[in-house]
Amino acid sequence: MLNIPLLDIVAFIWFLFFWIGYSLFARRKAKTQHSLSSILCTLRVEWMNAVVHKEHHIADAALVGNVERTVTFFASSTIFVLAGVLTVIASNDAFVRVLEQIPFTAEQSHGLVLLKLAGIAGIMVFAFFKFTWAVRQFGFVSILLGMAPSISRPTVEKEQREAFSLNAAKVLDQAGHEYNYGLRAYYFALAYLCWFVSPWLLMLSSVIVVAVLYRREYNSRVLRALLATHGYEPGPKQKGDL
C-alpha cells in the first residue's frame, strides 16, 4: 500500500485550495470590481451590438477565427504534453534517478512519483477539455455571425437585434472563460511541477501563481488601458459602470 507522507498530502490540498479557491474568488470578485474578465465582457457585448449594425461580417468572422486557431493550438499542444507525461510514466525508474540528481530534492518513493505524474496528466486532461470546449463555443459564435441580423435587413425588429447581440455576446464570453480556465490550468501545472522537488516548493509556487494571476487580472497595465477606453478606473465598480 502506498505510504504518502503527511507533508505531501498537506501540500497537495494547499495546491487545490489555491487553484479552486482563486477560480471561485475571481468569478465573485469580477461582479464588484473591475477586472480583465469584467471589461472584456463589456467589450464583447459592444462588439456584438456593433455587428448587428454592419452590412458585412467578414472582419468579425476573421477575428473570431483567429482566436479559435489560438485555442486550437493550445488544445493540440496539451495532447503532446500529455503524451510526454505518459512516456515518463512508462519510464518511471529513469525519471526517479533524474530527480535524485537534482539538488535539494526530497526523498520520495517510486509509487509517489507515479502518483504525482498521474496528477500532472490529470491537469492536462482538464486543460484539454477546457480548450476543446472553448473551440466549439467559438465555432458557435462563427455560426451566429453567419446568421446575424444586419442593417441590410430592415424587417428585423430592434428587439430582435438587441436579443441577438446580448446572447451572442454571452456565448462569446463563455468561450473566453473556458479558454481562460485552460490557460489557468497551465499556470498551476507549472506550480505543480515544483512538487517533484519538494512539497514546500509546491506550496510556495502555488502562492506565487495566484499572486501573478491576481496582479494581471486586477492591477495590470493592460487592464488600466482597457478600462480607460470607457473612462473607468481600476478598483471597485462605481454606480453606472457596466
Average the pLDDT over each of 49-63, 99-113, 164-178 and give the range with the smallest value: 99-113
Binned at pLDDT 50, 70 and 90, residue 156 comes out as low
Q: Using a pLDDT cut of 90, give the percent of the chain over it.
A: 53
The 10s digit of each residue's pLDDT in 171-202 is: 999 999 999 999 999 999 999 999 998 999 99
Say what the pTM is: 0.89
Q: 209 is written with which cell numbers?
A: 501563481
What does the pLDDT read at residue 22?
Answer: 94
Q: Using a pLDDT cut of 70, give the percent of the chain over it.
A: 94
| Secondary structure (3-state) at 198 | coil
Q: Does 7 score more than 70 pLDDT?
A: yes
Q: Are 96 and 110 in contact (CB under 8 A)?
A: yes
What does the pLDDT read at residue 231?
Answer: 83
More confident residue, 238 or 96: 96
What does the pLDDT read at residue 242?
Answer: 56
Binned at pLDDT 50, 70 and 90, residue 139 comes out as very high
Q: What is the DSSP string of 123-182?
A: HHHHHHHHHHHHHHHHHHHHHHHHT---TT-TTS-HHHHHHHHHHHHHHHHHHHHHHHHH
What does the pLDDT read at residue 29?
Answer: 87
For residues 25-50, give the mean pLDDT.
89
